[in-house]
Amino acid sequence: MSGPAPPLTTGRRLVPGPAMRTGTAAAYRALQIIDGEPHILRGLGAPAAAARVPGRPLLCLAHLTDFQLADVQSPGRFEFLNGLAQDPRYAWAFPMHRPQEALVPRAVDAMVRTINDVRGPATGLAPALAVTTGDAIDNAQWNEMQAVLALLDGGLVRPDSGGPRYEGVQSLDWPSGIFWKTGGCGPAGPDLFRREYGFPHCPGLLQRALGEFRAGGLRIPWLACFGNHEALSQGVGTVTAAVSAALTGAAKPVRLAGLT
């Protein structure tokens, strides 16, 4: 017996809901479910057509893009540049870190499982092909690509590249308060996200997010395009010999040397 059809935005949408906590700049809000939005056909120079495809549909495609799945513990990422967002010399590189990045493998797995069971809202057909249009990974790293391949083909996904505990900018002992410390306050007190945007305490979140799991993969063929994040460090920097050494080294940069 088949289960219920996976939800689409034609049936329901997620929007910001009630404020759970309030920061000095904005509130941290729960998600709220509201009614779906209509599916609109786009004509070529003509007004929008009816909600059904005229004639006989030939093919239904699934489009996936910009996972930017990151090794969140990589020594070759330069998250500290987030602290220079107001400096015009470095603003072009912002953001180098996002608070939810460690959750991306689980989100991609959920998306893949949805695609396996969905039918096109206009054609009524199941997807016959999935196409990813670049930036599946974040930092031109092979272990990131291994995770994406396991997610799309099916297999064991290993997001954790560090030691026995999470080692990265969101750890409580990381010497910066510009990153969301999921487990509580660091030595300097509440971090930027908790102070400004009301982000919550989520002890154990990173450990659970980085735990290995088995993905079922897509049940249809898929094709991938090449994006800037597949070739460049965080999508913006050429992978030089020095960057390669940083990617495989034991030290992680925390600031720019000689910055004035």
pLDDT of residue 256: 81
Helix 104-117 vs helix 142-153: angle between axes, to the nearest 10 degrees? Answer: 30
Location of structure tokens 């689980």: 106
In the three-class reduction of DSSP (H, G, I as helix; E, B as strand; rest coil), residue 69 is classed as: strand
Find all residues with CB under 8 Å of 57, minimum gap 6, and list them.
120, 122, 123, 124, 125
pTM of the model as a whole? 0.89
User: Residues 141, 60: contact at Cβ < 8 Å?
Assistant: no
Task: Enumerate the domain spans of the chain.
Answer: 59-164+213-247
pLDDT tens by residue, 98-130: 999 999 999 999 999 999 999 988 788 999 999
Please check the confidence at residue 20 and state whether its pLDDT lies above 80. yes
Nearest Cα to 121, choosing from 9, 46, 218?
9
Bigger pLDDT: 52 or 187?
Answer: 187
Q: E strand or H helix at 56, and its extent? A: none
Amino acid at the residue 201: H
Cα 157 to Cα 147: distance, rounded to the nearest angstrom: 5
Quick one: average pLDDT of 193-214?
95
What is the amino acid identity at position 165?
R
Chain segment 162-200, per-residue pLDDT in tens: 888 899 999 999 988 999 999 998 888 899 999 999 999
The more confident residue out of 19 and 55 is 19
Q: Which two tokens stand for residue 164?
A: 């026995």
Residue 50 has pLDDT above 80, yes or no: no
- CATH class of the 59-164+213-247 domain in this structure: alpha beta
Question: Considering the chain, what percentage of its residues have pLDDT values greater than 90?
Answer: 59
